[in-house]
Amino acid sequence: MDSSIRVVSRIDPRDPILVAAWPGMGNVAYGAAMYLKENLKASKCAEILPNDVFYKTGVQIRDGLVEIPELPKSEFFFYKNKTGVRDLILFIGESQPVMEKEYELARRVVEYANSCRIKEIVTFAATPVNITHHVEPEVWGVTTDAPLIQKLPVMGVKIMGSGHIGGLNGLLLGAGKESGIRGMCLLGEIPFYTAKIENPKSSLAILKVFLGYTGLTVDLDGLVQMSKYVEEEIDRVSKATKQSLLSEEGGPGPEEMDAPHEEKKSVETRSIPVEARSRIEYMFEIASRDISKAGELKKELDRWRIFHEYEDRFLDLFGRKNL
C-alpha cells in the first residue's frame, strides 16, 4: 500500500460501500457526509497524509500574529452496520487539492478501497439549477455501471444524460472504474444564487436517496430542522437586501425635477454605449453566481439610469421574485 496511506485501525468490513465527499458548492456533499459520520458515530480507520498532495500557499493571522496553517485532512471512517448487510466506509476530505494533484489523491482513495474489498463507490455533489430555495430539490445521478442506470429512476433519481462532473467527485469514479470498482454520483439540486450558501436541504435530498439505496438507517430530523433554519435565514437576508437596494433608487434627482418634459424623455431614451451594456451583462452573470455582487450591479444600472429596463431580471437574482 502507498506509504502516504496511514492505517489507524484494522477493519474487516462486510460488503462495504465507500462514500467520498469534499467541500464544494452549497457544502452539499461535505454536509451530507459529515451528517452520516456524526449520526452513525463512524470511527476513524485510516488517513491519507497530505504532505505531497497539498501545499502551504499562505499563512493565517490571529491577533496580529502569523500562524502556519495545517494542511487539510483526508480521512477514512468506518461504520459497522448491525442491522443490515452492508458496512459503510466514509472518506471525507477537508479540501480538494490543486488540479494536478486531484487524480493522485483519487488513486490513493481507490488503493485503500481495494484493500478493504470495496466493490462500489458513491460520491455526492451539487448541481445548480433554475429553482428557488423554497422548492424541494431533486437528485440527479450518473454511474459507471450500465445495469445500475435502469435502477436510478426507481430510486427517485433523474438520469443526467450529458454534462461534466468536475474535480474529485468525477475523477474518483473514473479511478474506481479503472480499478474495477463501480461508481455512482448523486447530485442534489441547488438554486444558482445559493452556490456559496450552505444548502442542507439538498444534502437531505441526497441522503434520502442514499439511505433508500443502501438500507442504512439514519435519523434525519436534525438535517430537516437545519434546512428550515437556513431557508428562513435566506428569506430574511434576501428581503432585507432587496429593500435596501431598491430604496437606493429613490425618485428623480434635483436636476431632473426642474427639467422640461422633453429633456427628461431624452435622458430615459438616450443610447447606452455597447461597452456599458456588455459590462452590465457580465455583472449579471457574476451576480447570478454570487448574490453579494448584486449591490455593485444595482449601482451600475442606476449610474446609467436604466434600472427600470432590468428590474425583472434583477429581482430574478433573488429567486424569481418568490423570496
Q: What is the mean pLDDT of residues 131-154?
A: 93
Give residue 268's pLDDT. Answer: 43
Residue 157, C-beta contacts closer than 8 angstroms, at least 6 positions apart = 139, 140, 141, 186, 209
And the C-alpha cell for 263?
429633456
How much is the pTM?
0.73
Nearest Cα to 34, choosing from 223, 231, 170?
Answer: 223
- Using CA atoms, how far apart are residues 81 and 60, in angstroms rounded to an integer? 41
What percent of the chain stands above pLDDT 70?
Answer: 88
Which ranges in the chain are annotated with CATH 3.40.50.10900?
5-54+65-228
> Residues 200-209: pLDDT tens digits?
999 999 999 9
d(CA 292, CA 45) in angstroms, rounded, equals 40
Half-sphere exposure of 124 (CA within 13 A, CB side): 36
Residue 249: per-residue pLDDT:
56
Q: Are 48 and 108 in contact (CB under 8 A)?
A: yes
Q: What is the mean pLDDT of residues 264-272?
A: 50
* pLDDT per residue as tens digits for the range 304-318: 888 888 887 887 776
Instruction: Report the range of poorest mean pLDDT among 16-20, 168-172, 250-254, 259-263.
Output: 259-263
Does the domain at 5-54+65-228 match CATH 1.10.530.10? Answer given as no
pLDDT at 321: 37
State residue 241's pLDDT score: 67
Residue 41, phi-psi category: left (phi > 0), alpha (psi -120 to 50), beta (remainder): left
- Residue 164 scores a pLDDT above 80: no
